[in-house]
Chain A
Amino acid sequence: MTGTRSAEATSPLAHQFDDLPQQHAADELGMWLFLCTEMMFFGAVFLAYTVYRTHDEAAFAAASTRLDLFWGTLNTAVLLTSSLTMVLAVQAAQTSQRNTLVVMLLATIVLGSVFVGIKGLEYHHKYSEGLMPLLGLPFHWDEPGRSSAEMFFDLYFVMTGMHALHMVIGLAILLILLVQTLRGRLLGDFSIPVHLTGLYWHFVDVVWVFLFPLLYLVGGRH
């Protein structure tokens, strides 16, 4: 599979499928089933969040104001843009536009990396403010509702941490796609891996779309 050939010698159609549209439909279905498991995976922590927020909305609101709204909003914009570049990458792959695909994959990787970088910056802020109640670190909270505030920050780190982990995995997959594209693959009828990665990436974006208001915008900020 080396050399300057732009298409593989083998057919993209696996032998168990009748035709390519059927194979693509099956690929998509499989990915959606996986995304359903991911919905439940994140759903569990969202449930915990909802229970504790209903329990003490005031403490959650107070804790939420301690998060960096600027960086959170910027991160949301960055991630939404990366979803745009991702869907443009899928389009480029399907229409065999190799150069556009490379550019869009690179753009998605850069934006995704910026997101993770900003997250790291926010985590560092929380650590230096004593608002990281993990691994036995001290938690500095002098207002009422201490245990609820601590629960808020526990949930913040778990939810955004799991999300960031999914981002990093997505970035690794995108890097693999980039390498494959540079070797002349993943175009036209062979583009389904790009499409499926796009589904994963957009799902991770949707999770953040819910995370952002629930963590950063609790109860009439500013």
Chain B
Amino acid sequence: MSHNTASLRPYIIVFAALMLLLVVTVEVSRLDLGRGNFLVAVLIASIKATLIGLYFMHLRDSTALSRLVALSGVLFLAILFTLAFSDYWTRNWLSPLKLGSEENSPSARTAIEAPVLDRAISAHDGDTTYPR
């Protein structure tokens, strides 16, 4: 690992970019993009994380194996989210994809007030022949 004292500039530049992206994150959150707010926030955070990973964590100078391992962590996270959400959405356990779905229907009210697991459990109330 050879670094000379003159190579501080990349770190300063990346730091300035990170602070700028922080301002962008806060300002963009003031806009009402509905569901888009979540995606934009995660996108900007991912850019910041990539900058930190490449430059501050020296992934640019690391072996390909280290980069692969770092990437695999992200990949397993993606697997976790994909499988978990494919489960939740195909069982219809999440309320309809719209904002402020309050007090509209009895089913919506149940979706808001009762945690998902409670609802699944109480669905079996009165089962006298359980387990079948």
Interface residues of A (CB under 8 A from B): 21, 24-25, 28-29, 32-33, 35-36, 39-40, 43-44, 47, 50-51, 53-59, 69, 73, 76-77, 80-81, 83-84, 86-88, 91, 94-95, 97, 144-148, 151, 195, 198-199, 202-203, 205-206, 209-210, 212-214, 217-222
Contact count A vs B, C-beta below 8 Å? 172
The residue on A at minimum CB distance from B59 is A32
- Cβ-based interface call for B73 (8 A): yes
Known: A80-B15, A145-B102. 8 other contacts (CB 8 A): A29-B69, A55-B116, A57-B99, A81-B15, A88-B8, A95-B4, A145-B112, A209-B48
Q: How far is the CA of A70 from the CA of B38 in the complex (A)?
A: 20
We find that the number of chain B residues with CB closer than 8 angstroms to chain A is 65
A217, B4: Cβ atoms under 8 Å? no
* 8 A Cβ contacts from B54-88 to A: 55-58, 62-63, 65-66, 69-70, 72-74, 76-77, 80-81, 84-85, 88
Q: How far is the CB of B118 from chain A (nearest CB, A)?
A: 9
A contact face: mostly helix, strand, loop, or mixed: helix
B38, A53: Cβ atoms under 8 Å? yes
Contact flags (1/0) for B27-66 with A, using CB distance below 8 Å?
A: 0011111110110011011001100110111100011011
A51, B80: Cβ atoms under 8 Å? no
Q: How far is the CA of A151 from the CA of B112 in the complex (A)?
A: 11
Q: A25-B65, A39-B77, A80-B19 are in contact. Are A219 and B49 (CB under 8 A)?
A: no
